[in-house]
Amino acid sequence: MRRREFLLGFAAFVALLPTKVLAALWNKAAFESVQLKDASKYLNVDAEIPSADIQIVAPDRAENGAIVQVEVKSNIANTEAIAIFVDKNPTPLIANFVFSNGAEPFVVTRIKMAETSDVKIVVKADGRYFTNSKNVEVLENGCG
């Protein structure tokens, strides 16, 4: 009977472990910020360096702001993270991708956009922050 209790307890521990690990990585304050500058502050972004080494593929005009595909590739050596911001959204921080050592700094995702705005990308590499942006015209509101 004790063996069964131990195995059930161990299985529950293993099942809950990833949730706790993910919760530790979740930056609640940054994702809940309603101002771009506050979201950046909570991600510890200080001085941003404009860089053409960040490639952004997104539509010039999005028919529906509820589904806007964004593709980002960083050609900056030692990229550690890629954050996606949309200034005119209710919460501007859309995503923050953290890369393990040696992972290719490339993401494709679909985002929601409330209205026409810049999609701003911030890349963290070697403790510095680089940025690039692309304006996307939204023809039909996606956030509400």
Q: Which domains does the chain have, with CATH numbers?
A: 28-138 (2.60.40.2470)
Three-state secondary structure readout of 80-107: EEEEEEECCCCCCEEEEEECCCCCCCEE
pTM over 0.85: no
Q: Which residues contact 115 (CB under 8 A, 6 or more apart)?
A: 65, 88, 138, 141
Q: Report the C-alpha gap between 16 and 29 in whole angstroms.
A: 23
Q: What is the pLDDT of residue 100?
A: 85
Q: What is the pLDDT of residue 19?
A: 45
Identify the weakest region by mean pLDDT among 17-26, 31-40, 47-56: 17-26
The more confident residue out of 34 and 18 is: 34
